[in-house]
Chain A
């Protein structure tokens, strides 16, 4: 029981990874890499927000764009909240249409979501938010690797 949490190798790596996912750059901040953490935080957050602004929160589409959503979720668990909000709005709109629908309107169910987004703005928003998530995944892996190297006695990779 005399071991500190840092000496518990697996738990330490999990905590670093979780913090890095919770806040972009958080893992590096935990490793006292403050400048690196600040650069990652600003770059990833700004890219994600620009993507959201360009394409609207409709680009966080957990129903019709699952692969993109998987990448977007890598930004932060907060994206789950946005995703469930957008999915709820989509399901509400679809149910409302189906309640009064003719066959033709039912076929157009995919376009009745509350947050409409399509065209070039949708593409750019989806690409920006997903790339931001994948970049954060790179940072999460890097933070875990650096933490591992420090525990086993290496330097920065």
Chain B
């Protein structure tokens, strides 16, 4: 038991190995879920499982949709600035 407790505590002293990969973006999902849960917990008049889950899922979905829209817009801006604009100006922008 003591060995387990020490091993558990020691695991908090070294960081996990997480690569800078597209998959690492998925770490935003638990964070968005937490934000939705806590925000809705402070907003709903009473907490009952079904209505609370529905409210939370709605906020979770709308945050994700907004993030996706922001990502697409930023990708589009980057595509225009780095891919299209230099061709239109007939010389490299960078």
User: Hey, which bits of chain A sit against chain B, CB under 8 A?
Assistant: 35-36, 39-40, 43-44, 46-47, 50, 52-58, 115-117, 119-122, 124-125, 127-128, 131-132, 135, 138-139, 142, 156
A39 contacts B47, CB within 8 Å?
Answer: yes
Check A124/B27 contact, CB under 8 A, given A39-B37, A54-B16: yes
Q: How far is it, in angstroms, between the C-alpha of A37 and the C-alpha of B16 when the chains are bound? A: 30
By beta carbon, the residue of chain B nearest A114 is B13
Closest to B33 in A: A43
A54-B38 CB under 8 A given contacts A35-B47, A47-B31, A120-B24: no
Given contacts A53-B16, A56-B15, A119-B20, contact A139 B35 (CB under 8 A): no
A54 to B39 Cα, complex, angstroms: 24
Interface residues of B in 1-38 (CB under 8 A from A): 11-20, 24, 27, 30-31, 34-35, 37-38
Minimum C-beta distance from B24 to chain A (A): 5
Q: How far is the CB of A73 from chain B (nearest CB, A)?
A: 17
Bound complex: CA A156 to CA B24 (Å): 39
**5 tightest Cβ-Cβ pairs between the two chains A and B:** A121-B15, A142-B42, A35-B47, A56-B15, A135-B38
B45 near A156 (CB under 8 angstroms)? yes
Complex contact B24–A139 (CB within 8 A): no
Docked-complex contact A139 and B31, CB < 8 angstroms: no
Give chain B residues whose Cβ lies under 8 Å from the Cβ of A142.
42
Contacts of B30 in A (CB 8 A): 47, 50
Contact B38 A139 (CB under 8 A): yes
Q: Which of A47, A53, A124, A138 contacts B11 (CB 8 A)?
A: A53
CB atoms of B41 and A39 under 8 A apart: yes
Are the C-beta atoms of A122 and B15 separated by less than 8 Å? yes
* B25 CB, nearest partner CB in chain A, Å: 10
A151 to B45, CA, bound (A): 18
Residue of B24, B35, B37 near A131 (CB, 8 A) is: B35
Task: Say whether A139 contacts B42, CB under 8 Å.
Answer: yes
CA distance A120 to B15 in the complex (A): 10
Please report the C-alpha to C-alpha distance between residue A138 and residue B42 in the assembled complex, in whole angstroms: 8
For the complex with contacts A36-B47, A47-B30, A135-B38, 11 further pairs of A-B residues with Cβ separation under 8 Å are A35-B46, A40-B42, A43-B34, A46-B34, A50-B30, A53-B11, A54-B18, A57-B12, A127-B31, A131-B34, A142-B42
